[in-house]
Structure 1
């Protein structure tokens, strides 16, 4: 056995269970809610909150146990994110899109890359940008990375970045790849919070790299955005967990949906505060909670949000099932099944949006229509999230049909 094969990192809490991790996230709700405005102003959550997340184990949720992670399942992670986003949607986005890529470091990169990245203490978080906005040029020491990648959500507290690159070898383009770059190899730009309409606290900054050199094992060939599964998953053989054989396009939409389900619950919580503490307009106002209209609005919204959560969790379990089947079957993932996850979770997002829009509209001008109010922030956060290319459900629907009818499935980008 080689020295590398003996590298292991202990978990801080070996007996930690998924239910306790979710409970820890739920217990932070009021802290995150109180920090919401400061998080938006700062562009990310505070260093103190970051330390709380580290202590709670959130960053380790999906990391391999061998390298200090808890290796919980995807559905557990989605439930953690819902609870965090229910306290602060921007924080939920920032945490999710940094901690959520434990499945990618554990799946796509080989043993040496994982060992080096996660040593000595199992600390890992990374934004993931799947559109190749820079280059990887083959050099004697490995690969030289150059470029600027925008919308690197989760980057402020990340230890690494995972970015798509265009490969250049012997002066000619040779395809695409995915580069794993440590924090010292990139520069974080403060170009998000001041221009964003919403999700200002999501840490969706750009990052730049200028002649950063990474070793060969930190680059894998293939595209993150293709349905044919051209990215290999050595992590399954290394860890024996089908989660590390997952298809990225089945997983990435689950992340965003979990954040927005949490955002919708945040709006519902705020609506409950409003209708239980304020009266209806006019000289004979009554407690809003006693108004049949307000009861109707709350009931409609609560039902839509609950339905969206159930769709999300069902798709999380379905994704896990697909991972198990793909690990057992050399044929890998079926494109129609992968696109069905997107199709279903898109409508979960639509249900949650309908709820947030209703709650915002009926909360009153003194709430939703007032700068600095929580209801307005949740509305802006969800509105901004809906501009994400991954949520353009009209564009994905034809791909679902193409896969079903055995036609060529159009590339995403």
Structure 2
């Protein structure tokens, strides 16, 4: 049976942009329904279409999109708050929301003509993408023909466009530069390759291009998008301004939002269960009476609090505007640090809950699996973030990655 969407209130004839509080409350209102859809998303390995429609209607995918293109043009704090609330209901839904919202924003870094192609006729456009330059583009009149395979494209079944990384070769076959190319999803082949133990509903499929024509106005230098170079280096000279701090410093903290929500949900689940039934092989009437349970719950809550403080400090720094290289490096490190604190908290909560947590019918095991996958995204690997930050603190100017 198809999932029934909650009925949204009709919008006024000429609605203005919603406030951050409004957008968070829209997400919170969806929580009970999203929880009910979570198992279906796992079984079908994609969040249900009705969930995608509900997120679109709530304006979630357009959180970072400029208002001139029909977006909300919020800061990253609002995206973090919304994704945290969604993550409390379902990790895959929250991850889908963040992935599309961020990649939609990335599409807005292309020239105006490309932006209008994506959003002009469809303000609800959904952009997926994989920025690793695993494709090859060859120069042809007016643009490039691109061929390649890109894995891990979140929400791929519902995407209308894709931003993909490629190495572009000039006509003589010698000069190259790393770029992002913007391609209609209809021109790509999609393979269902996402078979993972967690975040099952994110549908992170593989996209394939075979000699797809990409005009010049839909090409963006990857170093420029990453914030590692000015618009005149590494590619065409007429590129538009890019993200304030580059792709990686923006992306990494945004990925923590779903994790915070998963941690909150795990804590709420274990707290509720602790008031029912005794701990195994103990004299206490209920788990909540055991000092060991009380201590572990406090530890987990403080781990989550630490993660939240780091995550929101990071996005607040970005929202305030330009920061120097050391602060950018700290933002990257804080994201991975926060993710690790969430993992530690969830593991502690599993210890409190015991073996029952791993029953198929217990939602805690899904939260654990989802958090384990999310925290290991390339943008959240803690050792990379620590290396970036440590080098910055020591004044060592040595690149660590393509988009850091």
TM-score by length of 2: 0.88
Partner of residue 160, structure 1: 161
Corresponding residue pairs, total:
385
Shift in alpha-carbon separation, 1:226–1:63, aligned structure 2, 3 A: closer
Partner of residue 370, structure 2: 381
What are the residue-to-residue correspondences of 1:231-250 with 2, within 5 Å?
Answer: 244-250=243-249
Partner of residue 218, structure 1: 218
Contact 1:220 1:231 in 2 (8 A): no
Instruction: Quote the Cα distance in structure 1 between the aligned partners of 2:136 and 2:399.
Output: 24
Instruction: Quote the Cα distance in structure 1 between the aligned partners of 2:165 and 2:13.
Output: 30
Instruction: Quote the Cα distance in structure 1 between the aligned partners of 2:89 and 2:14.
Output: 25
Partner of residue 329, structure 1: none
Instruction: Quote the Cα distance in structure 2 between the aligned partners of 1:12 and 1:295.
Output: 52
What are the residue-to-residue correspondences of 1:11-410 with 2, within 5 Å?
Answer: 13-106=15-108, 108-170=109-171, 171-192=173-194, 194=195, 196-223=196-223, 228-230=228-230, 244-281=243-280, 286-321=285-320, 324-325=321-322, 334-366=324-356, 368-410=357-399
Instruction: Quote the Cα distance in structure 2 between the aligned partners of 1:113 and 1:225.
Output: 15
Instruction: Quote the Cα distance in structure 1 between the aligned partners of 2:153 and 2:14.
Output: 28
Shift of 1:234: 6.0
Shift of 1:306: 2.1
SS in 2 for 1:161: strand
Shift of 1:129: 1.5
Instruction: Quote the Cα distance in structure 2 between the aligned partners of 1:235 and 1:269.
Output: 45
Gaps of 5+ in 1: 1-9, 237-242, 326-332
SS in 2 for 1:66: helix
Superposed CA offset, 1:345-395 (max 9, x none): 2211121111101011221112x2223421111111122223322222223
SS in 2 for 1:72: coil
TM-score by length of 1: 0.86
Instruction: Quote the Cα distance in structure 2 between the aligned partners of 1:34 and 1:273.
Output: 18
CA RMSD in angstroms comes to: 2.4
Instruction: Quote the Cα distance in structure 1 between the aligned partners of 2:228 and 2:379.
Output: 18
Contact 1:226 1:412 in 2 (8 A): no
Shift in alpha-carbon separation, 1:267–1:12, aligned structure 2, 3 A: farther
Shift in alpha-carbon separation, 1:176–1:235, aligned structure 2, 3 A: closer
Shift in alpha-carbon separation, 1:405–1:350, aligned structure 2, 3 A: same
Instruction: Quote the Cα distance in structure 2 between the aligned partners of 1:409 and 1:188.
Output: 37
